[in-house]
Amino acid sequence: MHVLKFGGSSVGSIASIKNVKQIVEERKESVIVVVSALGGITDRLIATATKAAAGDEGYTEDFQFIRQRHFDVVNGLLDGEDLSSVKLYITEILEELNNIYRGIYLIRELSAKTLCTVVSYGERISSRIVATVIKDAKWVDSREIIKTVKVFDKNVCDFEATNPNVIRQFKDHQGITVMGGFISSDSQTGEVTNLGRGGSDYTAAIIAAALNAELLEIWTDVDGFMTADPRVINTAYVIPELSFVEAMELCNFGAKVIYPPTIFPVYHKNIPIVIKNTFNPSAAGTLIHANPKHVSGKVIKGISSINDTALVTISGLGMVGVIGVNKRIFSTLADNGISVFLVSQASSENSTTIGVKNGDAERAVDILTSEFEKELAMGEINSITAEHDLATVAIVGERMRQTPGIAGKLFRILGQNGINVIACAQGASETNISFVTTKESLRKAINVIHDSFFLWDYNVLNIFLTGVGLVGRNLLEQIHKQQPYLLEHRNLKLRVVGLSNSRHCIFNRDGIDLSTWEEQLNASQDPSSPEILCKSIIDMNVFNAVFVDCTASTDIAAIYEPLLEHSISVVCANKVAASGDYENYRQLKRTARKRGIKYLFETNVGAGLPLISTINNLRNSGDEILKIEAVVSGTLNYIFNVLSKDVPMSKAIRMAREAGYAEPDPRMDLNGSDVIRKIVILSREAGYRISKEDVEKRLFIPDEYFEGPVEEFWEKIPQLDAHFEQMRERAAKERHRFRFVATLEDGKARVELREVDDQHPFYRLEGSNNVILLTTARYKELPMEIKGYGAGAAVTAAGVFADIISIVNIR
């Protein structure tokens, strides 16, 4: 024999009841079918009673809705005598219900006893409808079978009375019987009671256990237990099998697939439970039994959460070593009907924290304050406080007790993503690790845990990119092209979840389609500003997040600090922050270290060349940077490489601008400011406290050329052509070349135009290439040389891309 339970959604419409009919009639074995009220009817019954008690005449309209809803369903399912008999039954008992509502309205009172009677009508009607729809089905009244007793103002199943009733009713059962779930009656008085929310599941389990059924089937509107809430995690999937313990843990911590007490009766009889989908009956579902198979490599089975959490903390040095304090805490709460679902206690015993529902928190504080009134007065207990609006997350799996390091991995990934753990608990059975965090962190916590434990075949990085000019555009092209390769060969999934330019922005938690990013951004009506970006990124609260700045904006650089504080890594081609105020530079690096995330700016100097990372590797391995010599302006290097008898200085500058190396106003390159920023950054990374104001400038263009509008500059610059031609001609005779060099030596920095001979490493520097010489304690006689393309959108984008990938340390 099988016991089948169909929930409200399964009997919520004509189509769904037809599904139920087909599922049941296809069975060859005898079945008992337990059904809930039509979807949404229980809430409507309660709301109507509440209106009537408040003297609101609108209750009559609600009653008519309830009446019409049931008639609509039967009219769509039945005809002939079946339709007439069911409509007569519904009319008669709804008249009873209407009289009850009228009485509530007249006396303006709604007692618990009356409310139990009111809500019973939902299952009484739905079970009769389903029994008539299913061919050859019999109907029984649950109130005659399921008996309850009062415990702490709650109706609890009286098994001593119920089990004999079940056995007597179904001893010789054959075929199909339908009954309502949820509803019951008092063992002593016979008054109508119910088993509370989710009681239909419990009813089915009680019947299955009493009859030693082969299987309990819970038919609902989902395919089974999921690895996480699919409304939060779009990559969540169905768990094929669970143990009874795992299922209970998930139910107790918020998984609403079945009602938690459902498991106890069948667990003790070792009766398997299967969770199936009424709307997708061919799906395998989730099987709950004593010996589930475990998926290779998966240590935890599921993640569950409760967003209705408050923590009550009792603290005081007077609790240390005192026997019986916890007994008093839990006995006092139990005596007052307050359920505790989490306990966290310091090993010193000076504080105990308990998790309760928000609605119970203040009452718990008042009750405990009264219980420990003497200890509070004497100072043995310092305080009893409540912290509201929190969330509890649990990871569940019986294999955790066989696997060391699970707790360490859990708390490490939470910390790396800026998720604060307020309290935690783990039983000695090691099947559940629970922690409490803020409600705001709940989605992010579940995402990062699911990614790390269930999708650990690959890492995910969620990227926010601002600045879609040449570098940003190239970066998006490179990411789009490389996404399949990285996923297949490096187990890295790159997901661009935010894009912005100076006018508009777009966000998509599931990832922006990079084949149409430009059209999407142009079509966006959402305004963009540094403040909007910062708030949107933080509010989006995604895990493994990285902010990528491909602008040159001072305002954008100002949002690095709050992003880092929220555990969002920062990768930037923007030089402003790393070369700006020294204390701000240090603070950004400190924040990144404190949060366990990355602040990377490799492309600030040398585009894609590994300059900053090399300096850091040398210093981290104990080396000391003694001297830096660098040609790091692709623009200036290009100018001096094309300078010739036929190409005077003024033309060389124009050629640099036309080739895309120089800014529209080339004075921004000629004044050495970019090179100064770069030597400041290199010096700081080498361990020296240097600011732009400290750098000695030996420029080759007189100061007066940097004054006035750019048009005036173009008019005046040919005046220097003869001077530079004399310099070039003399240098050429001596086999020298000009290079604009940035130098750090003896803790001081300078930039200058320098002549180098044909033996110098800088001599054969072609085009816009960069080169850096590092003299260190280890590389003293022969400096380390790093050389290559130091400018251009593609190589700069590649450098930014490399920084992004380095966040997850893949090789």
Strand 176-180 and strand 183-186: the pairing is: unpaired
- The tokens for 264 are 């106890």
Distance CA 103, CA 124 (A): 21
With CA atoms as reference, report the closest residue to 630 among 751, 507, 737, 807. Answer: 751
Of the residues 18, 678, 697, 780, which is catalytic? 678
Q: Report DSSP state, residue 226.
A: B
With CA atoms as reference, report the closest residue to 769 among 584, 634, 597, 626. Answer: 634
Q: State the alpha helices, DSSP H only, in 135-227.
A: 159-170, 199-210
Distance CA 246, CA 288 (A): 9
Burial of 525 by CB count in 10 Å (0-12 exposed, 13-18 middle, 19+ buried)?
A: exposed
With CA atoms as reference, report the closest residue to 653 among 645, 644, 715, 643. Answer: 643
**Cβ(352)–Cβ(329) below 8 Å:** yes
Instruction: Report the Cα 674 to chain-centroid distance in Å.
Output: 40
The CA distances from residue 74 to 44, 82, 88, 119, in Å, are 19, 9, 11, 20
**Cβ(285)–Cβ(224) below 8 Å:** yes
H or E element in which residue 5 lies: strand 2-6
Per-position DSSP letters for 516-572, written without gaps between them: SHHHHHHH---B--HHHHHHHHHHH--SSEEEEE-S--HHHHTTHHHHHHTT-EEEE
Distance CA 362, CA 254 (A): 22
The CA distances from residue 301 to 111, 217, 237, 295, 588, in Å, are 43, 21, 11, 9, 39
**Cβ(30)–Cβ(173) below 8 Å:** yes
Which residues have C-beta within 8 Å of that of residue 604, sequence separation ≥ 6?
572, 573, 574, 575, 578, 579, 612, 677, 678, 681
Distance CA 756, CA 735 (A): 9
Distance CA 784, CA 552 (A): 30
Neighbour tally for 91: CB within 10 Å? 12
- The tokens for 59 are 């209750």
User: What is the Cβ-side half-sphere exposure of residue 7, based on CA atoms within 13 angstroms?
Assistant: 22
678 classed as catalytic: yes
Distance CA 77, CA 71 (A): 10
User: Phi and psi for 768 in degrees, rounded to 5?
Assistant: -105, 20
With CA atoms as reference, report the closest residue to 34 among 193, 166, 228. Answer: 166
As beta bridge partners, residue 753 has 740
Coil vs helix vs strand at 147: strand
Residues serving a catalytic function are: 678
